[in-house]
Amino acid sequence: MMTKRKYFAAIISACICIGAGSILSVKVNSASTTPGTTDDPVVTKSYVDQQIQKALGGGGTTTNPTPTPSTSEQNSNEVKNVSLKPGEILVADAGTEFIVRSGNAVIYTEDANGVADLTAGVDLLNGQAAPKNHLLSFPRDGRGIQVKPGQTNGLIVMVRGGYTIK
């Protein structure tokens, strides 16, 4: 049978073990690296580029050359709002994405294949209506959109990727 003294000693021993375990756990957790701390800093690409240039002896700051976009060569991550007048055709480079924001547009292709409507999950063929606010993907050059024949108003299209206006 356990006396009060032995019972009290057992409780005190258990509390000391739990406390010591908690302290050791905190020390172990604080030793691990957490993103954004001095042990594991989060850095930007420009900082890394700058440090690489310094290591290579290129000096201080680096500037990322920004190509001057033309109508046939757009920055692939930049989204442009393009206005299209009746009679004009917006022809996409391979991999370009369009979203028709206003106006009535139809698909333009020179071959039998179409354009992927990623929002609806369908293939749109030449002459079919291009729905507003749907993401359209152009897998090959030579495909695009134009103002629906008979319309007097133009289109406003969000474009990501390269394109030309015919």
Do 84 and 160 sit in the same domain of this protein? yes
> Does the predicted model carry a pTM greater than 0.95?
no
pLDDT for position 78: 86
What's the domain range around 48?
A: 36-63
pLDDT at position 111, please?
A: 81
- On whether residue 73 sits in a domain, the answer given is no
Burial class (CB in 10 A: 0-12, 13-18, 19+), 30: exposed
Q: Are residues 53 and 102 in the same domain?
A: no
What parts of the chain have a pLDDT lower than 50? 60-74
Identify the pLDDT of residue 113.
81
For residue 76, the model assigns a pLDDT of 57
Residues 115 and 55 grouped into a single domain? no
Distance CA 139, CA 116 (A): 8
Report if residue 98 sits inside a domain: yes
